[in-house]
């Protein structure tokens, strides 16, 4: 598979939220730095604080989007992102509930996949300002292959856009000597 650009949405609302985003980035790219697995960091959006979506009786989230280069097929990228979630202690309980980390594949090149465990582009992306606003920072003209709308246009129309507040600068990416997460 050729190297293509993928976008990963990260979210957290438990514990030290900023550190959770940084640790997730270290874990996502740790393998590529140590074992030449095919996932490399390109850019990060700024970090945004957002009200919870779906189940609202929980703390606010920090969200960002990572732009990555990869030649991993979508199913292997999903396995990798879910492995990072498990390693960080993610527990699956209440749907849309609180979490230490969530890593979603928003786009994988221009592919469309609609399987039980994997939907690309992310099935509810067009409804989620918390993902669209940071994604629009990186790729405003990226066009949704099913809906035909740009990310910027979807972000402008998304409910809750006013509740997505800039929180901090883009997260840094690990270097070869930063491959292990910080405690």
Q: Considering 17, 26, 30, 90, which one is annotated as catalytic?
A: 90
Active site residue 124: no
CA pair distance 125, 102, nearest whole angstrom: 14
Q: What sign has the CA pseudo-torsion 101, 133, 150, 156?
A: positive
Q: Considering 17, 30, 104, 128, which one is annotated as catalytic?
A: 104
Residues 6+ apart with CB under 8 A from 129: 50, 155, 158, 159, 160, 161, 163, 164
Beta bridge partners of 4: 70
Q: Considering 17, 26, 30, 99, which one is annotated as catalytic?
A: 99
Q: Which of 10, 3, 24, 23 is nearest to 62 (CA)?
A: 10
Active site residue 26: no
Active site residue 102: yes
Active site residue 90: yes
Residue 91 has a CB neighbour count (10 Å cut-off) of 12
Q: Which of 4, 69, 75 is nearest to 37 (CA)?
A: 69
Per residue, the 3-state secondary structure of 73-97, as one string, reads CHHHHHHHHHHHHHHCCCCCCCCCC
Which residues are the active-site residues? 90, 99, 102, 104
């Amino acid at each position: 598979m050729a190297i293509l650009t993928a976008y990963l949405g990260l979210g957290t609302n438990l514990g030290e939220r900023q550190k959770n985003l940084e640790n997730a980035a270290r874990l996502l790219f740790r393998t590529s730095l140590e074992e030449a697995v095919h996932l490399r960091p390109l850019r990060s959006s700024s970090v945004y604080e957002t009200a919870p979506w779906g189940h609202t009786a929980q703390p606010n989230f920090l969200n960002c989007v990572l732009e990555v280069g990869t030649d991993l097929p979508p199913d292997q990228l999903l396995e990798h992102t879910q492995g990072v979630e498990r390693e960080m202690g993610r527990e699956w309980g209440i749907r849309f509930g609180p979490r230490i980390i969530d890593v979603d594949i928003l786009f994988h090149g221009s592919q469309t996949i609609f399987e039980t465990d994997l939907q690309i582009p992310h099935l509810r992306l067009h409804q989620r300002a918390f993902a669209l606003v940071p994604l629009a920072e990186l790729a405003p003209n990226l066009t949704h292959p099913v809906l035909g709308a740009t990310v910027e246009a979807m972000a402008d129309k998304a409910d809750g856009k006013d509740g997505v507040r800039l929180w901090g600068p883009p997260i840094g990416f690990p270097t070869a000597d930063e491959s292990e997460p910080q405690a």
